[in-house]
């Protein structure tokens, strides 16, 4: 059960248990919402949100792709999030902003339905588990194809699109695996149900390009930059299913999962069947960036202003 104290909803702070929507909310019926998954870490410099503006700007872009005007600016959402984390007394948390077509209109034309915006924050551990983060997870290529640009907008983080991820996730869990990997209509690897995919072979790191049907992951971008800064070759290219089996190493990135090694795909051991050397180097470097331990990536951290954090301490 996830829990916290307050939720921000359309400009107000409301009690967690009162943050409810009408059953005829448009987004509930047709998936007309866009959202983000963001994390705030307790760093030595204070609580800091990782790449906050990048996430909020993606939220705004996702909204635009579905013809939704956000009634709040990115800066308003940013300061509301700071305040919300402080008022909830959280030093670290997961952050879930969502903008959705609200109550008042039914039918498939959503343009007259209001756009409601909520932000929730709560403590949330690593999505694929501590054990998976340490020793690697087991993945299964899904029988479900990843949504394509011919039917939806893979680059948008939109609620309804996640039915595709939900099917892949359920299938993989029911079959006894930790995660599902989706292919596109050509049979190329696209991404995990909620993570981007990387392989390593002969020292070269590969990941599907942003022109494929992936979500342009913010952690994907971060890890590509960190890897290049460390001197590794990173190429964006089509990855075939068998490229996964033949890889020396494989890992996934995402806000919820962070950087998770994959030790097995479809019952093929990846490399030695344990997290690879380069994966471990990148995982450490990425963790250092998340926790503000590397000066080079401090610009990725959005520190909760001291004055706001002090209000948390005064309240707590």
The catalytic residues are: 157
Residue facing ligand PLP at closest CB distance: 217
Place of tokens 């250092």: 288
The reply to whether 184 sits near ligand PLP by the rule CB under 6 A is: no
Yes or no: say if 32 and 100 are a contact pair by the CB < 8 Å rule: yes
Q: Is 116 helix (H, G, I), strand (E, B) or coil?
A: strand
Six token digits for residue 73: 């600016």
Distance between CA atoms of 30 and 33, rounded to whole angstroms?
Answer: 9
Closest distance of CB 289 from ligand PLP, Å: 13
3-state secondary structure 67-133: CCCCCCCHHHHHHHHHHHHHHCCCCCEEEEEEEEECCCCCCCCCCCCCEEEEEEEECCCCCCCHHHH
x-or-dash pattern for ligand PLP, window 11-50, by CB under 6 A?
A: --------------------------x-------------
x-or-dash pattern for ligand PLP, window 134-173, by CB under 6 A?
A: -------------------------------x--------
Nearer to ligand PLP, 6 or 40 (CB): 40
Pick the binder of ligand PLP from 142, 196, 279, 283 (CB under 6 A). 196
The total number of residues written for the chain in this structure: 316
Query: Among 183, 197, 190, which Cα is nearest to 144's?
Result: 183
- Provide CB contacts within 8 A for 104, sequence distance 6+: 26, 112, 113, 114
Pick the binder of ligand PLP from 117, 218, 259, 304 (CB under 6 A). 218
The reply to whether 60 sits near ligand PLP by the rule CB under 6 A is: no
The reply to whether 258 sits near ligand PLP by the rule CB under 6 A is: no
Six token digits for residue 28: 């509930």
Pick the binder of ligand PLP from 27, 97, 110, 194 (CB under 6 A). 194
Nearer to ligand PLP, 102 or 254 (CB): 254
Pick the binder of ligand PLP from 255, 283, 292, 312 (CB under 6 A). 255
DSSP bridge pairs for 183: 145, 189
The reply to whether 219 sits near ligand PLP by the rule CB under 6 A is: yes
The reply to whether 97 sits near ligand PLP by the rule CB under 6 A is: no
Pick the binder of ligand PLP from 141, 152, 168, 215 (CB under 6 A). 215
Nearer to ligand PLP, 26 or 220 (CB): 220
Query: Among 38, 34, 147, 14, which Cα is nearest to 88's?
Result: 14
Six token digits for residue 67: 């013809």
CA 199 remoteness from chain centre:
19
Instruction: Return residues touching ligand PLP (CB under 6 A).
Output: 37, 165, 191, 194-196, 215, 217-220, 253-255
């Amino acid at each position: 059960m996830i829990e916290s104290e307050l939720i921000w909803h359309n400009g107000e702070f409301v009690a967690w248990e009162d943050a409810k929507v009408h059953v005829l909310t448009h987004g509930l019926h047709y998936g007309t919402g866009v959202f983000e998954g963001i994390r705030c870490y307790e760093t030595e410099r204070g609580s800091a949100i990782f790449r906050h503006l990048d996430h909020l700007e993606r939220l705004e872009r996702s909204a635009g792709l579905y013809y939704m005007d956000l009634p709040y600016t990115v800066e308003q959402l940013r300061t509301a999030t700071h305040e919300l984390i402080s008022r909830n007394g959280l030093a670290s948390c997961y952050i879930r902003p969502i903008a959705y077509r609200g109550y008042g209109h039914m039918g498939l034309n959503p343009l007259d339905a209001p756009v409601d915006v909520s932000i929730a924050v709560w403590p949330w551990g690593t999505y694929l588990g501590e054990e998976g983060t340490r020793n690697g997870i087991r993945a299964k290529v899904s029988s479900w194809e990843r949504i394509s640009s011919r039917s939806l907008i893979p680059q948008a983080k939109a609620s309804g699109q996640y039915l595709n991820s939900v099917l892949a996730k359920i299938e993989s869990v029911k079959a006894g695996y930790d995660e599902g990997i989706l292919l596109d209509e050509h049979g190329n690897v696209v991404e995990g149900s909620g993570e981007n995919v990387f392989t390593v072979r002969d020292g070269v790191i590969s990941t599907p390009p942003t022109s494929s049907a992936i979500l342009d992951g913010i952690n994907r971008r971060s890890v590509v930059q960190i890897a290049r800064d460390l001197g590794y070759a990173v190429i964006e290219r089509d990855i075939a299913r068998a490229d996964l089996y033949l890889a020396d190493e494989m890992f996934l990135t995402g806000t919820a999962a962070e950087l998770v090694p994959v030790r097995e795909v479809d019952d093929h051991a990846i490399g030695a069947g344990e997290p690879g050397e380069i994966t471990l180097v990148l995982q450490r470097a990425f963790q250092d960036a998340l926790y503000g331990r590397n000066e080079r990536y401090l610009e990725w951290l959005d520190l909760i202003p001291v004055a706001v954090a002090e209000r948390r301490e005064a309240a707590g």
